[in-house]
Chains A and B, each alone.
Chain A
């Protein structure tokens, strides 16, 4: 059943998040480190604004933990733009070895998982994992111009503007204890306005393998959080879990926590930023304070491109699972 890695020596030291104004007005608004005043953030393009958010989240994370760039062995980061221009250009300003990683909206747990294995394997001591997405950059790449008068489908998610970074190291308040990387799953869904439905089978595949590999049940986690399935995707995941008689009482979705229903964002938040920012600003403090002890985070990604969507291909998806555990004080 393709391995689940159990780790003993990797911890989340610190986190930081930078989000857009719409996200700042949402229910988690007070928890983010920085809420930018407008989507362009003083830059001349959406792309530059997203890059600035990612650089800021990484810089802020380093400052909060009191580190210098020389203290890090690697940055692993990704975003949704073509050729990973946000992450690649952010890395231009950071004197740390860098690898851009693309997992669509699953990027956050993919970078954390890979960073954690590099540390567990003994190769590295401290790694930054990060991810970013920006509403306007993503709309421009995948959908319509911002000011075009279109009605969005009820099943469509709202790519959130948000960047977050976490520092992985050999000590810290929260331990990275289990990692299962996702297979690419495709149930033939072609509707790019319903990515939640396309991604739910991928989340289920990884969740099922993770639990089977470890002999665990969903109740063994205080919270199982998917990345950005949204309202429709979550219903589909519950169907799939119900079909294999798993309980789903402790299931939540990062995308559903970002906005409230007044904000007309339809099925919820999506984008690399969703799982990254919600983990950094919401789950990490909850774990630190002991309100939750074990969190299974399954960021979900739709691995399609505009070209494949226009060529009427179905949407392959993936999901990577990471278990974060509170370190009990002895």
Chain B
């Protein structure tokens, strides 16, 4: 070993040792600068109080702790749109955007996104920021302060009411902070019609009002809570509704071939529905039953003759026949013939039958059935169908309906033109409709819908969903608006002024009707809405942007007659007014899934910001300072070995 060799080896080992020590340390000047974007949630909820200041002010105050060292970072104001902003002027901004959207954030960052995003928000977003592609570091603002706040959380009103018949409007009130009672009133057409004081010390309470519409047409109303002492959020104290008031009650004939829970619940429902005038018959015994008893012992009356029923048929708007197998002989073929003629002229008939049996008017075809589950949850194929729409709730309430129990047999085939509305989970039909000339027929292959009422009771919500379903059925059978062959989907969710409302019109696939679509504000004049072909045959779509909040009537016309109309309430803004509580859990979840972190504004300080920057530098840096030493060390090691070999020293 020469002296040179020892020097080379020493240098080599030194380089390698340095290389190992500096692993993970980036090159000076490289990987040090992380490109950030700071995004500010500028939705109206950020103006809500967070202690003595607003959420917006709280967020700005947190940012100011690191502002001086980060003046080159771009800033964005985010709502349902976005705009670049100057950090220095952000203090003067009032957060008033109607909502905040993750989808818009993705648009704002564009095709050349920064390495990371720092977001100041309270979590009141109208959608998520999924697939952002960069880590989201979130500073959460807003606290669950205990200031008094009363709100009308939800409202349920019948879409259709009848002049002279009481209509019920119910609402759920929520209360936060030191509030024990709420003074709540029903206003209709701008006039207070009823009011009461409701106990809300448990945090929530239901309230119901009845009112009797006096005239036909669209009627706007609202449930309003008087402000509590010290309450500052007043936007959520009012919720509006709109009801389509029609002239006549629905005269309904209900004949059941067998008493049972279904008969009892449905009959009670129809009796209690102020829009229904009910005539009902239940077959309580067969001719061979109770033979040992004389007529004077029994309370039974003779079943009406077929002729009597046929004569009365034109006076009804809806007919329900349950357990037709038992009724077939009592009613006879002459009744069936008259019923078919009545339906084809515009009547509506419902057959409730389990197992289903073939009937000339029902949607089911043939005698064959298929077997399936005996217990099942009904799956609504189209929740926006007028039969299946359950109130203004945004969630799918059909998921929460009780389990039905049946014979386990389902119709195998449907008549041409019939449409399945609901199935058991395996897709076997349970509810279907069939248009017959100007009338309609409905088939329900189950007799346990009463279970929905009891399940609602078990959950503590009462039988509201059951009641709404049967209200829908009666109105559909009676050709109330939305029940014909040409009909519009009722949009779900909150409709806001300035936002486009999509109006979907369904028409029979055969033929090309001349359609016209109109929108009209209450008290205003009709505006024509452009209409175009939809994504499938028989479907047309119109777009309308309501210029101002309030009740609007949407109608579709075929030739010169109105085929369907409904009233919708256009709200003045995004529905964050309903619940303005911050949602830190949502923010934390978004941050974690994007690879970022969540911290509350109270914990956001220089140290946190530095830590984030350091972590990002590690992530962003692609090469390390160790390479500078490790690579020459290895080269020197190889070169020294080659040199010794040539010298014959190896």
Same complex: no
